[in-house]
Structures are given as C-alpha cells and as structure tokens.
Amino acid sequence: MITAQVEPYADALPELVALYHDHWSELAMDKEYPEAGLDPMWEVYDQRDASGQVLLVTLRETGKMIGYFLGFAAPGLHYRRCLTYHSDIFRVVPEHRGRMGGKRMVRVVIEECRRRGVKRVFLGEKLHMPCAQLFAAFGARPVERMHSLWLS
C-alpha cells in the first residue's frame, strides 16, 4: 500500500539524503561543471525548518520512502500578507511511477497548505521532465517560465 503524508523534515532527512543523488543524476543540467555538482545548503534547510517554513510530504510503500515533495511556506516577498508555498524538489523513484503517487503527494501538499493558512501555491516543473498535467489536475495554471544560462 502506498501512502502520502506530512512528515517532519529532520526525522526524514537521512532517507531523503539517500535518494537525492539519483534525483540529481536524473534531472540536473550542466553536470559538466564542477560548481553544478550536488551540494545542498543543509544549514539553510535547517534554518527554514526551525522557523516552520519547511513542508515535507513523503510517499511510502510498506514504510519505505519512495517519493517526496519538499517546499517552503512563507510570506511572499512581493505580497507580505500572502502566505505562499514554493515547491523546491519532488520525486517519485522511477520504479514506482505510474501508480498515482505524484497525485497523492500533491493532494497532501495542498491539504497541508490549506491547514497552514497558505493562500498561494507555486508548483515548479522541469521543462525537460514535464508534469504540468499533474498540477493542472488540481487547478494550477502555468504563470512563469524560467530560463537558465551557465556563465563559465
């Protein structure tokens, strides 16, 4: 049985770390540059977690983590009175895709955002691994496209 649930970031961190490298290997661009290697700013995640901003939803099958959806809920930089959620990273491990795990996680993210009083949710996707259909199923619509340029 696959379940999606909110979990404390600090408690789940060892399992997340074990999954991060494969996630990076699958999605990262500019891997040829040493500066683009996976090197999270753990201290920033810890600070945001301590301030209550981190929202982590995990996907588990019989207790084993098979996916995660991590983001931050904080006042918007441009809209101080609007508590805003920004997704950071999410993934379902490849062998468990196609079983509605992504949809389960997004549903729990939205429910938890509502519970926390979030007014606006931003869900990001990589254009080279699109998931707009998933987000559209919850009523989200595209609002911005980011462009990347590596300066070497």
Tokens of 149: 């340029």
Q: Dihedral of CA 126/145/71/131: which sign?
A: negative
Residue 76 identity (one-letter amino acid): G
Per-residue pLDDT of the chain (152 residues; tens, 9 = 90+): 999 999 999 999 999 999 999 999 999 988 899 899 999 999 999 999 999 999 999 999 999 999 999 999 999 999 999 999 999 999 999 999 999 999 999 999 999 999 999 999 999 999 998 989 999 999 999 999 888 898 98
β-pairing, 120-122 vs 83-92, is parallel
User: Could you tell me which CATH number the domain at 2-136 has?
Assistant: 3.40.630.30
Quick: pLDDT tens for 108-152. 999 999 999 999 999 999 999 898 999 999 999 999 988 889 898
Facing residues of 67 across strands?
Answer: 59, 92
What are the sequence ranges of the domains in the chain?
2-136
